Amino acid sequence: MPAGAPRIFVSHLAGVPVFDPNGEQVGRVRDLVAMLRVGRRPPRLLGMVVEVLSRRRIFLPMTRVTGVESGQVITTGVVNMRRFEQRPTERLVLGELLDRRVRLVESGEEVTVLDVAIQQLPARRDWEIDKVFVRRGKGGALRRKGEALTVEWSAVTGFSLEEEGQGAESLVATFERLRPADLANALHHLSPKRRVEVAAALHDDRLADVLEELPEDEQIEILGKLKEERAADVLEAMDPDDAADLLSELPEEDKERLLQLMRPDDAADVRRLLSYEERTAGGLMTTEPIVLRPDATVADALARVRQADLSPALAAQVYVCRPPDETPTGKYLGTVHFQRLLRDPPFTLVSSIVDSDLPPLAPDTPLPAVTSYLAAYNLVAAPVVDESGSLLGAVTVDDVLDHLLPEDWRESEFEGTGAAGGE
């Protein structure tokens, strides 16, 4: 980048695509790595943490960056694909510097860091952090309290100090558009202290989605740091099967205390799932499939399928049952697949196009048999029905894969393979 290039605020770089000289996308920027220096000298920017297509995080030195413009980063030369590991002298700019409380040198006033700006040094390939965007008072980025101002790096002090109770509003805002799995990946790479702070700043639904994507030990770690009332709220927002899986790993007294704090209806669903063996259809199923009464129409079914919070697997079919239409339902009549809904007129009754030939799964069906069932009939979800003919829930292919993969597959996916990658 030529001398005199405009400075760039790092929040604008989060998630930006990285391209090699041939125009092929290498990955996306997930953080920046800086090294603090003695005195008031601006930190040197060492490089970027880039998440490649395999979700491994690698280190891209700033000396390999030839352009940062138009919402993209351009690199030169061969990218080292070794996994990034943070060194003790390094700081993650997004993960560790944003939301810190520091002080203005001149007045001693405490301010909160909302963003920092980087700039390339004239006639060199080195970059440094030269500006800090701060807000006066103790309000975070989302609270809008106090005056915001941009100051020189040398005008603030306190970045090298260990901070207790660091906020996370600016970091959360930076990662707002990430998918839950990608945000979980970002949390996984933060320190345990920072991970808990960021989790505390997420709203319940968002945190529930992210918890479902994290390794089991980190789920337990985060849930254990929340106040019990909020932990119960987050469990209510999770899919019942995921909440049951998480609660099953807790000590019995902790599990029962959280269940008591949950809404009775939500707790009842989770308790029902906990009563089944883990690697059976009953233990794998979700209790919230799309259930319709026989007099519902194709238009009704399509309206339910369009709901944005449904997973693709659950949206692939609807289950037709007699009242009540909450699980456990009245008599299960059959399934209508999404493709059939697209082929029939909107006024058609779902009871007239129901597929009743396919036998449902019993709740005690073991995992290998569930897997064979989905594969044999080319399904992404299957109904689970008890001896009385009531629909209990549905098993989806993603939950089956969860239990077929090695127990540490989420950690392996986040970490990738290879040695340390810092240069």
Instruction: Flag residues of the chain having pLDDT under 50.
Output: 1-3, 140-143, 417-423
Q: Is 135 helix (H, G, I), strand (E, B) or coil?
A: strand
Start-end of H helices in 57-202: 169-174, 180-188, 192-201
**pLDDT of amino acid 145:** 60
Q: 403: which DSSP letter?
A: H
Please give the Cα distance from 224 to 104 (Å, whole number). 36
Polymer length in residues for the chain: 423
User: Are 208 and 222 a contacting pair, CB within 8 Å?
Assistant: no
Query: How many beta carbons lie within 10 A of that of residue 133, not counting itself?
Result: 21
Strands 317-321 and 291-292: parallel
Please give the Cα distance from 105 to 63 (Å, whole number). 32
Please give the Cα distance from 369 to 376 (Å, whole number). 10
The gap between the terminal CA atoms of the chain, to the nearest Å, is: 21
Q: Give 239's strand partners.
A: none
pTM: 0.70
**pLDDT of amino acid 36:** 87
**pLDDT of amino acid 210:** 94
**pLDDT of amino acid 77:** 76
